[in-house]
Structure 1
Amino acid sequence: MPRVYKRKTDRGKTLPDIMERAVKEVISNSRPCREVAEQFSIPHVTLRRYCLKTRASGTMPHVGYFNNRAVFTPQQETFPVNYLQKAASLYYGLSTNEARTLAFEYAQKLGQKMPTQWYENQRAGRDWLLGFLKRNSNITLRTPEVTSLGRATSFNGHNVNAFFNNLQLVIERDGITPSNIWNVDETGCTTVQKPDKIIANTGVKQIGAIVSAERGQLVTVCCAVSAVGNTVPPMLIFPCVNYRDHFINGAPPGSVGAAHKSGWMTSETFLAFMKDFIKHLWCSVDNKVVLLLDNHESHISIEVLDYAKENGVIMVSFPPTLFTQTTTSGSISFLPFQEILQHSL
């Protein structure tokens, strides 16, 4: 039997009160079964069967098909739904197999009658899971995004409120307009793109597509966008020791490039980006802008903070609250993002 069965006819859809009235007309008023069936638009064979059952038992039998036997009632299913939603919100969502195991243990705890396969596999069946997701449209299968433990623990109400309080303080004090609120971030772009699907012969074991290299390298791209949608030319950081001008051929007009053997953003390259950023914005201590950025160590070096402050760039960092920074003595200290804001002021 298919997992989603659809009846091919309208059998079993006669309302109970209509069937009861038709049976009463046949039994109590002694009317012909075919005549009553035609009057109420009921198959005469069905009406005759209900009349025979009523005469034999003296009571009206159940009308229509019985629903499939369910392990949980709608009220009992609210617990696994809430549990799955809560686990996903805490970054510890359950997989399909774990959800099926949860359903089996929950049914065991309630003493519910379960199919034999549930006991054999020690978890609910796939059909139950598909029906469970169909009955509860507020949950579905999702692909989770990889989230580090530090990011998950630092994203809380206290840190978020502190960030927005700092942002509101700066906006109200200096009269910052949306066009002067900027966000900067980096992303990695591979030098070898994955080819699209192509049409080829069936039965061939392997199909190839020409690319520049089989294994590419990541190039860091640093971009800045304002609250009104304006942008500045990006910076591209290439994974090599020496930078050459032809590296950025074909890049957006005004783009700048840099090189580092790891291809990652460093304090030196971010300072170069800040110089290019300020050159395009013409900001100053009399025309300040707010720059929102994350907690990467290259963003909070003393050289970057001092240069931003001298040129009217107020740097407001996102949570988490602690950032590592190398001091002049070489040791590692922790700098709260409130102090980063105060330093940039």
Structure 2
Amino acid sequence: MVFDQDTTIVQSEGGTGNNCQDATKQSPSSDWQKFTKKYRGYSPSQLSYAYQLVKDKGIPIRTAARRYEVPEATLRHRLSGYVNPEAVKSGPAPLFKEEEEADLVNHLKLMARVGYGYSRSEVIDIATNYAIHKELRDSEHPLSTKWYKNFMTRWPDLKIVKPRSLEMQRAKASSEVNVQNYYSELHKILEKYDLFDKPERIYNVDEKGICTNHKSPYVIAATGTTPPTITSGDKHLVTVLGCGNAQGHSVPPFFVFPGNRMRQELLENKSTDADGDVSESGWSNTEIFHKYMENHLLKYIPHRTSAVPVLVLFDGHKSHISMELIEWAKKQNIILFVLPAHTSHILQPMDVGCFGPFERIFNNECHKFMRQNCSQPITRYNICGLACKGYLHALSPSNLQSAFRKTGIYPYDPYTVDRSNFAPAQVFIQEDAPEGTCEPEAREPVHEIEPIENDIDVPVHEIEPIENDIDVVSGKAITEDETIEKIKEHKENVSRKPSKKSQSNEKEKRVAKPKKSSKQVKPKRGPKKTITVVDEPCASTSGLNLRGGPISIIDDSMDSDVIEDEEPCCVCKLTGLPLELRKCNFIVFASWGQCTVENCGHWVHLKYCCQKTVLRRHDTFVCPCHGTSTEE
């Protein structure tokens, strides 16, 4: 062996004794490490240059291999066509071509960018269908996780991430046009009152809900275990009103506790100048917000004049908008600017840079408190002190300055918002359809049942703004005379409309005295639907007998053309469901159509008692009593 020869040479040259024995023991391993080469120690570009040199200039293969330090056999295999010249690793070639995989990668990135990304199993399913379409695989041999791992290795710019939740309303509102309109209005106000270089006069007010049952932070534990964390259990909601300016100065917090009477014990261990109030739910309301602005915030903002006012930005929650607050702000030379609806996650400084750290610090403080006070839970009487610690750290000067800078308020920059935030809105951007267009076909739901309106538990903070005037004030300064006139005009128009109570009374009267009409159902009203559940009768608190016998429900979207279940189909003479659906053991829907022939008005089961399966807007429907149905 080579190592034996090397050892012999060392012995003859190195003399005798222990040194020769040491050399005998160490030489093989050192020589092995010396002559071991790294697998594929050349780059793909080196192999490509050698390949082009032989192809274009006719240089011998051995010369090109030596010049670019690539294996001669590897270069010969690519020149002979035995191996694809573009292959960068050994083994079989990928299933898809590079262009095909690039199209798949671009599709995955696009769907993730607009908020509808794919999971790992969905990616494998999509690739399998793509391979079947390309006739590279059949349905009996789908792609496996091995293909997925190799695919992710070939495209290192892809990775598995946990997406953040984004409400549909926020996705729709976060369009580039909506945001740029907001910055245009903000620019007008900053220019009109010369506030571009006055960060100490630009404030942002926002609310944050905290709970006595905190979220535990990450903890150190043994591998393979999921340790528990002790929490209070009782959930009491407390609202924190926070405020700060673009210069980095924060206003002491203001708390809203659940209850009917304010007690000083609720503010125990509070920070300096912190204050609070109570409401029945623990959420802020119009009265509390007005009190916060007048008695709390006013003490910490600088002196104001009509020529040098103070700008206060906040979201368009219904409790923030009232004529009393607007009139008070005008007297105090305060400009109230309402951010565009459902865009606070990208445009409100408190949400962008302060309340995220505040929630994390608050949860950490609660976790420490539970560890240091094992037998004492977190209640509304000690939550104030814990929240104040997090508030002081989160609303630091650096965080406030960074938050106003990221939202483009100070320094003013309408293009500082990340454009990736506008991508989800592209899905919902559609041109207004002309009046003559048809409505989409009504589909029969199979597994989902719309909840009854009276049984929906709507939290107090999610109620729609008063009289829907958020559309009038969204993205505008509500203390400007032009905006005030629009608000007053809007409220006058709303006051002329009948109230919901009167509308419901009229609807009840129509149900009591059904009116038969020869006209078709109006465009905004759906066809008659009947829901039937077949089983033993049993009462239910939700108003829907999920176990019990036949139930007939008239769709709430119908009002003028109300049909009672006593009115039968003119073909099968049955009320409710047709004969084909009466033996079903699951929830089914039956669609109805009304004849448009004058003085007829008969109702017919669509699909089962006539050839029509669906009716659209402005359709003409003739029941089988008169002949075949037609459609214009």
TM-score (norm: length of structure 2): 0.42
Matched, 1:277 2:294: no
- Relative to structure 1, the CA distance from residue 201 to residue 344 in structure 2 (aligned partners, 3 Å threshold; closer, same or farther) is same
- Relative to structure 1, the CA distance from residue 65 to residue 343 in structure 2 (aligned partners, 3 Å threshold; closer, same or farther) is closer
3-state DSSP of counterpart to 2:207? strand
Alpha carbons 2:201, 2:245 under 8 Å: kept: yes
Task: Output the amino acid matched with 1:279.
Answer: K
Matched, 1:336 2:468: no
Matched, 1:168 2:168: no
Matched, 1:257 2:285: no
Task: Output the amino acid matched with 1:192.
Answer: N
Alpha carbons 1:155, 1:320 under 8 Å: kept: no
Tell me the alpha carbon deviations over residues 172-214 of structure 1, each in whole angstroms, 9 at most, x when there is no partner: 11011222111221112222334556678999997564x5x22
Aligned twin of 1:179 = 200
Aligned twin of 2:254 = 235
- Relative to structure 1, the CA distance from residue 272 to residue 143 in structure 2 (aligned partners, 3 Å threshold; closer, same or farther) is farther
Q: Distance in 1 between matches of 2:211 and 2:70?
A: 68
Tell me the alpha carbon deviations over residues 39-65 of structure 1, each in whole angstroms, 9 at most, x when there is no partner: x998xxxx9xx6xxx9xxxx7976996
Alpha carbons 2:205, 2:313 under 8 Å: kept: yes
1:102 to 118, 126, 150: 126
Matched, 1:84 2:125: no
Matched, 1:10 2:10: no
Tell me the alpha carbon deviations over residues 206-252 of structure 1, each in whole angstroms, 9 at most, x when there is no partner: 7564x5x2233221111112122211111111122222122122233
Task: Output the amino acid matched with 1:10.
Answer: K
Which entry has the higher C-alpha Rg, 1 or 2? 2
Which sections of structure 2, spanning at least 5 residues, go unmatched?
A: 1-35, 52-59, 344-462, 482-632
- Relative to structure 1, the CA distance from residue 138 to residue 201 in structure 2 (aligned partners, 3 Å threshold; closer, same or farther) is closer
Q: Distance in 2 between matches of 1:250 and 1:113?
A: 68
Alpha carbons 1:301, 1:325 under 8 Å: kept: no
Task: Output the amino acid matched with 1:83.
Answer: H
2:323 to 302, 310, 316: 302
3-state DSSP of counterpart to 1:232? strand
Alignment of 1:315-334 (within 5 A): 315-320=336-341, 325-326=465-466, 333=469
Q: Distance in 2 between matches of 1:168 and 1:179?
A: 17
Alignment of 1:110-189 (within 5 A): 110-113=134-137, 119-120=139-140, 124-176=143-195, 177-189=198-210
Matched, 1:314 2:335: yes
Task: Output the amino acid matched with 1:143.
Answer: K
Q: Distance in 1 between matches of 2:162 and 2:110?
A: 16
Alpha carbons 1:308, 1:344 under 8 Å: kept: no
- Relative to structure 1, the CA distance from residue 298 to residue 41 in structure 2 (aligned partners, 3 Å threshold; closer, same or farther) is closer
Tell me the alpha carbon deviations over residues 277-317 of structure 1, each in whole angstroms, 9 at most, x when there is no partner: 12211443433111121121111122222222221221222
Aligned twin of 1:190 = 211
Q: Distance in 2 between matches of 1:71 and 1:203?
A: 37
Alpha carbons 1:238, 1:258 under 8 Å: kept: yes
Which deviates more, 276-285 or 258-267?
Answer: 276-285
Identical positions, percent: 24
3-state DSSP of counterpart to 2:300? helix
- Relative to structure 1, the CA distance from residue 281 to residue 255 in structure 2 (aligned partners, 3 Å threshold; closer, same or farther) is same
1:262: how far off? 1.3
Aligned twin of 1:21 = 62
1:92: how far off? 2.1
Q: Distance in 2 between matches of 1:65 and 1:87?
A: 30
Tell me the alpha carbon deviations over residues 120-178 of structure 1, each in whole angstroms, 9 at most, x when there is no partner: 585x4333333433433444323222222222111112211111011100111101122
Q: Distance in 1 between matches of 2:341 and 2:194?
A: 26
Task: Output the amino acid matched with 1:152.
Answer: A
TM-score (norm: length of structure 1): 0.72
Q: Distance in 2 between matches of 1:239 and 1:218?
A: 7
Matched, 1:290 2:318: no
Aligned twin of 1:66 = 90
Tell me the alpha carbon deviations over residues 3-23 of structure 1, each in whole angstroms, 9 at most, x when there is no partner: xxxxx9634557876994289
Alpha carbons 1:283, 1:313 under 8 Å: kept: no
Task: Output the amino acid matched with 1:90.
Answer: V
Count how many residue pairs are aligned between Structure 1 and Structure 2: 300
Greater than 6 Å deviation, 4+ residue runs: 22-25, 197-206
- Relative to structure 1, the CA distance from residue 299 to residue 120 in structure 2 (aligned partners, 3 Å threshold; closer, same or farther) is farther
Alpha carbons 2:182, 2:476 under 8 Å: kept: no
Q: Distance in 1 between matches of 2:322 and 2:141?
A: 57
3-state DSSP of counterpart to 1:281? coil
Which sections of structure 1, spanning at least 5 residues, go unmatched?
A: 1-7, 26-39
Alpha carbons 2:216, 2:229 under 8 Å: kept: no
- Relative to structure 1, the CA distance from residue 295 to residue 85 in structure 2 (aligned partners, 3 Å threshold; closer, same or farther) is farther
Aligned twin of 1:5 = none
3-state DSSP of counterpart to 1:78? helix
3-state DSSP of counterpart to 2:261? coil
Q: Distance in 2 between matches of 1:270 and 1:158?
A: 31
Tell me the alpha carbon deviations over residues 64-91 of structure 1, each in whole angstroms, 9 at most, x when there is no partner: 9634431222221222222222222322
Task: Output the amino acid matched with 1:178.
Answer: P
Q: Distance in 2 between matches of 1:180 and 1:89?
A: 37
Task: Output the amino acid matched with 1:82.
Answer: N
Aligned twin of 1:34 = none
Q: Distance in 1 between matches of 2:149 and 2:248?
A: 43
Q: Distance in 1 between matches of 2:221 and 2:39?
A: 48
Alpha carbons 2:237, 2:258 under 8 Å: kept: yes
Q: Distance in 2 between matches of 1:173 and 1:324?
A: 32
* RMSD of aligned residue pairs (Cα, Å): 3.9
3-state DSSP of counterpart to 1:183? strand
3-state DSSP of counterpart to 2:311? strand
Alpha carbons 1:300, 1:340 under 8 Å: kept: no
3-state DSSP of counterpart to 1:91? coil
Which deviates more, 11-20 or 102-111?
Answer: 11-20
- Relative to structure 1, the CA distance from residue 155 to residue 132 in structure 2 (aligned partners, 3 Å threshold; closer, same or farther) is same
